[in-house]
Every structure is written in C-alpha cells, then in structure tokens.
A and B are shown apart, each in its own frame.
Chain A
C-alpha cells in the first residue's frame, strides 16, 4: 500500500510541477520551442502509453495505433474546424468514436478463440489503410481534399496556442498514464497479464478473457483518439496521407519496446528517449537517416533489451539517478550542449549507456517488478 501511495504522490507532484512550467517559462522568458518540445513529448507519451495498455498488458500486438489516432484527428477536423463545434466538446467525441471503432474490431477478432495474436497483429496492420480509403471515399470526412485547421477556436482560458497545446497534451497524457497505472495495479490488470502469459491458463483460472481484451483495446483506442484530437490543432492542414501513415504505429512500438512493455511507466520513458533522439536528428538535418536509425534501433532493441530500459534504470537508480543529474550539470556548465535540450539528450545517452553496459555480463532475468529485486 505504501508503494502505491508513493507512486500516486510522486505522480501528482510531477503533474503539478509540469502544470506550472509555462507560467514559470514566461517569467524567465524562455524560448518558445521548449514548450513545443515538451508538448510533442507529451503527445508521444500519451500515444505510447495508450498502445501499451493493449499490447504491453495483454500481449496482443497492435499495428493499429494510426487508425485510432487518425479518427481523433479527423473528428476534430470535421467537428471543430468544419462544423464549428467548441473544441472541448468535440475532443471527447473523437475519443469515443475511436473507442467505438476499437469495439467493432475487437468484436470481430476477439470473438474467435482460434485466432492467434499474429492474425490480430496483421488485421490491425490493415485497418489504418481501410480508414484511409474510407476518408478518401467520403467527401464529408475528407474526400481527398484535406481539411484546413487554421482558425479553429481554442478556449480562451488556455492562453496562446503553445500554452494551450502544452496544457491540453499534458492533461491527456497524464490521464492516460494514470489510467495505465491504475489498470496495472488492479484486478483487471492482473487479468491482462495472465492473458499475456498464457491465455488458456488464464481462462481456466477464471479470467474473462474476451471482456478483458476488449477493455484493453477500447482503452487504447480511446486515449489514442483523444490525443489525436489534441494533435489535430498542431497540424495546419489535415490530409489522409499525413494522418493514416505508418509513423505513429512505428514510433509507439519502438518507444514501448525500448522503455519496456511490462511496466506502466516504460512506454513514457521510451517515448521521452526516442522523441528526444529523433528531434535532435531532425534539428541536425539528418531527417533522411532518421528512419534508418529508427528501424535499426527497433531490431537491436527487440533482440538485445527484451525487458526494456525502464526496469534497468529503476533497478539501478542508485547509479543512474546521480549519473543523470551529474551529466545534466556537467553538460549544462560546459559548452558541449548548446541548449538545455542538447544537454538533456547527452545526459540521457550517457545514463542509458551506463545502465545498459553491465547487463551484458549477467543473463537477463525478467519479471514484472524488477525494482523489488534490488533488496535480494
């Protein structure tokens, strides 16, 4: 119980601090791109965490993240930009529509016990393309013309665009992570893990497999759709090609695999690392090699770090936390990193290396709560 209280208090503290960042940033006159950097990171944290509720928890591998994200984007595009609904009213509609689509998919593919996880994975791979052709086919969605998002009214109390985006993505990401945590600690979550380990045994022990898998899929679709809706504001001009492509599923897979799919915080950590990496590569003008690096990373990570880096970092927090703080200070004082984001990139990189190198010596033992093994 104390562990749970500690997690919740820590979560609330981090959330409050992050909530106040824009106000603080204005006081010290920080450049606007810091906020942009952070809200893009929140976007990915939300997407990766929502994906993990399905794939990490139940073991059903999904390539369908782009479909839920796209439904969220298009709902805002249609309702808020075309029809003039208030944004905050349209946002939950996007999440609900994505959840409905997830339910329909789940009813088909989870009904049959004969279907293995591979078939589920391949069906989700196809579904984003189906939504893409639906969007192209029907003029009331897109009809191949795209939707201009400019002039979508945002709620007044959120301030200017950057701050509004910051707070919106922060709140959606926080609710997503909190939900992932609560599921992780609940009976529902244990049912999901049991399904991941062995579905037949889980059913034999009384886990309602169909309902549990449906809830995981619906949660994934709902939170992804909500975050997609917020992200629609960031996209100036919505097109089918930009929304229903392979980028979102690719990145959430990579982030979760890197961070660790068994722990609720793994995808968030992976999201921060991967997003920082790609953002720096892009700003260094290496956009072309970006996907090559991402693909290579994915292959290496699947083979090498099967349990994800979050558990490594948490397990060795006595080493990793001081190294990260020390490296941040070092890079902050020296001119090696030209901005705080670069400092952060280098510091994370050093910390990751330190946490990963010793793992080569000992065979990886995987269990759900690696942090507990410290005492043994």
Chain B
C-alpha cells in the first residue's frame, strides 16, 4: 500500500474517533429517548465557538475549556429534555422542533461570530501542529486526543448502561416506557439526566473540532452528512457501535479524499449511508447494542 493511502487510513481512524464523539449524543437520545435532536449540531458548534473564544481572548489551553463546555452542554441537554417532557412531543415533532432550535442557534452564532472562518491562533493551540511520526506516517495529536476521548466515552457509556442501576433504567425506558414506569422507574429523571449526558458529549466534540479545524456557522450543515451515517451504521443508542462506524466512515472518507480530493468525501459517506440503509438498517453492531 502506498504511503499516501496508509496515511489516509491512519488519519481516517483518528478522525473517526471525532465522528464518534459527534454522533454518540444524538445516537443515545434517539435510541433511548426516541427524540431526534438536531439541536446537538447547534451545541457541537457552540462548544467549538466557546473553546475558540476562551482560547483566543483569554488564553486558556483548549482542553481546559472542557471544564466550561461539558457542564454547559449538560445543562443545555437537561433544559431541552425538560422542555420536551413538558410539551410531550413525539419523535417527529422533536425532529421539527429541534430543527427550529438549530435554525435559531445558526442565526445566533452567525450574529456573534460572523460567517467568516475562525481558527484558534496557533500560538494558543499546542495541539494543532503537534504530531508523532512512525516512519513516514504522521499521527496528529489533536485528532488522537479526540480518538482517546471516543474510546473513553464508548467504554464508560457501555459500563454505565450495562452495569449500573441508572443504565438499567435507561434500557428499561428505551424498551418500553409504560412498563418501566409501572416498575417504578422515574422516566422524567432518567430522561433528563441522559439528555444532559448526551448533550455534554456533543459539546465536547465541539471542543475537539476547534482544536484542529476552522469554524464557521455553515460547517454544521456538512456534519449532517457525517453524523447520520455514523448513527445509523453504529446502531441507535450504541456507543461502541458509534465508534466502529465513526472509524469506518473516517477511513472511507480519508481514502476518498486521498484518491479523488476532498470534494469526493461527502459522496462516499452518503453512499455508505445508502448502503447501510439497504443492507443493515439496524446497524452493523446490532447484536451488541447496549440500549
């Protein structure tokens, strides 16, 4: 295999970790709570801009901003679930309502940070340029951090869902909310906590994006095409599956970029989505789905 392709595969695996972090929140809330929350894209974007702002103007270390971004995302998820519980929306209404929220945030971010591309200044961002070399193959630090975080999320979420009482309640609700309620599971509390957790993951993804990519409000549209194949391939509510699917999509997009240029990547991810829908609509890792 030529070096270019090896490099594409290595980078694809690493960036697949980022895709997994971006997707796991949406996957959890869709799989367990039956809410398709497009506002996750808003909070990925917002998390990224908060990281950008704190590093660019206050000089924080980009990873230190997680101390603000994660609690912020958690609170946003909690608030959103409180709203959804209060209005008693179904799956479709949640899709349209969160689309409305997405549009509002899109407009708000544009009015705060303008439509221009923003990048954390290189002197404030030690992660963007650092990389290790194995032979001629570069391993960039920033996506590597995201990949490690994705591993941690996959393991931690699986542990949480399979080994704890909270996780059992989540799975009970995902399986049958009525019966779960009859057995004394507090649907409201569990749903609110899970939504907060899911949104915290998404906001975290924003921080990772800010460490090595340029930001503009419009890039969030391009994420749709990456996140949905990952969510569907990974299986709804399956964090380990999301990591596997993220790596698959990352590698495929990386190879496509190496062979035909960056414009081909969205096409390849869409083809993967179509193939996933045709052959494995329940996800590649369905048998091991935690939720």
Q: Among the listed B100, B106, B263, which residue makes an inter-chain contact with A296, where contact means beta carbons less than 8 Å apart? A: B100
Nearest A-chain residue to B88, judged by Cβ: A303
Contacting pair A129 B224 (CB below 8 A): yes
- Considering only CB atoms and an 8 Å cut-off, how many residues of chain A contact the other chain? 43
- Collect the chain A residues with CB atoms within 8 Å of residue B277's CB: 108-109, 112, 115, 119, 123
Contacting pair A129 B99 (CB below 8 A): no
Interface of A is mostly: helix
Nearest A-chain residue to B269, judged by Cβ: A126
The answer for the CA separation of A246 and B106 in the assembled complex, in Å, is: 11
**Which parts of A137-173 form the interface with B (CB within 8 Å)?**
137
- Collect the chain A residues with CB atoms within 8 Å of residue B166's CB: none
- Collect the chain B residues with CB atoms within 8 Å of residue A303's CB: 87, 89, 93, 97
Query: Is A136 close to B, CB under 8 A?
Result: yes
Instruction: Name the distance in Å between B121's Cβ and chain A's nearest Cβ.
Output: 27
Nearest B-chain residue to A114, judged by Cβ: B281
Q: Provided the pairs A133-B267, A257-B96, A302-B100 are in contact, do residues A291 and B107 lie with their beta carbons within 8 angstroms?
A: yes
Contacting pair B104 A134 (CB below 8 A): no
Query: Is A233 close to B, CB under 8 A?
Result: no
Nearest A-chain residue to B106, judged by Cβ: A291
Contacting pair A112 B281 (CB below 8 A): yes
Contacting pair A133 B266 (CB below 8 A): yes
Nearest A-chain residue to B279, judged by Cβ: A112
Contacting pair A295 B281 (CB below 8 A): no
Q: Provided the pairs A112-B278, A288-B111, A303-B93 are in contact, do residues A130 and B267 lie with their beta carbons within 8 angstroms?
A: yes
The answer for the CA separation of A253 and B100 in the assembled complex, in Å, is: 10
The answer for the CA separation of A295 and B92 in the assembled complex, in Å, is: 16
0 or 1 for each of A288-315: is its CB under 8 Å from B? (1 = yes): 1111101111110011000000000000
Contacting pair B278 A298 (CB below 8 A): no
- Collect the chain B residues with CB atoms within 8 Å of residue A123's CB: 228, 273-274, 277
The answer for the CA separation of A299 and B96 in the assembled complex, in Å, is: 7
Query: Is B36 close to A, CB under 8 A?
Result: yes
Nearest B-chain residue to A135, judged by Cβ: B263
- Collect the chain B residues with CB atoms within 8 Å of residue A245's CB: 221
Query: Is A198 close to B, CB under 8 A?
Result: no
The answer for the CA separation of A308 and B108 in the assembled complex, in Å, is: 28
Q: Provided the pairs A118-B92, A119-B232 are in contact, do residues A292 and B108 lie with their beta carbons within 8 angstroms?
A: yes
Centre residue among B222, B264, B277 by max chain A CB count within 10 A: B277
The answer for the CA separation of A254 and B89 in the assembled complex, in Å, is: 17
Contacting pair B267 A137 (CB below 8 A): yes
Nearest A-chain residue to B103, judged by Cβ: A295
The answer for the CA separation of A123 and B107 in the assembled complex, in Å, is: 24
Contacting pair B92 A61 (CB below 8 A): yes
- Collect the chain B residues with CB atoms within 8 Å of residue A295's CB: 100-104, 107
- Collect the chain A residues with CB atoms within 8 Å of residue B106's CB: 291
**Which parts of B83-137 form the interface with A (CB within 8 Å)?**
87, 89, 91-93, 95-97, 99-104, 106-108, 111
Instruction: Name the distance in Å between B45's Cβ and chain A's nearest Cβ.
Output: 14
- Collect the chain B residues with CB atoms within 8 Å of residue A114's CB: 281-282
Query: Is B285 close to A, CB under 8 A?
Result: no
Contacting pair B91 A118 (CB below 8 A): yes
Instruction: Name the distance in Å between B107's Cβ and chain A's nearest Cβ.
Output: 4
Q: Among the listed A288, A292, A302, which residue makes an inter-chain contact with B93, where contact means beta carbons less than 8 Å apart? A: A302
The answer for the CA separation of A181 and B218 in the assembled complex, in Å, is: 37
Centre residue among A114, A115, A246 by max chain B CB count within 10 A: A246
Contacting pair A118 B36 (CB below 8 A): yes
The answer for the CA separation of A3 and B100 in the assembled complex, in Å, is: 37
Instruction: Name the distance in Å between B9's Cβ and chain A's nearest Cβ.
Output: 22
Instruction: Name the distance in Å between A254's Cβ and chain B's nearest Cβ.
Output: 8
Q: Provided the pairs A137-B263, A294-B103 are in contact, do residues A118 and B95 lie with their beta carbons within 8 angstroms?
A: yes
0 or 1 for each of A240-276: is its CB under 8 Å from B? (1 = yes): 0100011000100100010000000000000000000
- Collect the chain B residues with CB atoms within 8 Å of residue A289's CB: 107
Contacting pair A299 B101 (CB below 8 A): yes
The answer for the CA separation of A126 and B226 in the assembled complex, in Å, is: 9
Nearest A-chain residue to B93, judged by Cβ: A302
The answer for the CA separation of A253 and B98 in the assembled complex, in Å, is: 13
Nearest 7 A-B pairs (CB), nearest first?
Answer: A295-B104, A298-B100, A291-B107, A295-B103, A299-B100, A133-B266, A295-B100
Using CB atoms and an 8 Å cutoff, list the residues of chain A in contact with chain B.
61, 63, 108-109, 111-112, 114-115, 117-119, 121-123, 125-127, 129-130, 132-134, 136-137, 241, 245-246, 250, 253, 257, 288-292, 294-299, 302-303
Interchain residue pairs with CB less than 8 A apart (18): A117-B92, A118-B36, A118-B91, A119-B277, A129-B221, A133-B263, A133-B266, A133-B267, A246-B221, A289-B107, A291-B103, A291-B107, A292-B104, A294-B103, A298-B100, A302-B89, A302-B97, A303-B87
| Known contacts A129-B266, A292-B108, A295-B102; 4 further A-B pairs (Cβ under 8 A) | A112-B278, A119-B281, A136-B263, A137-B267
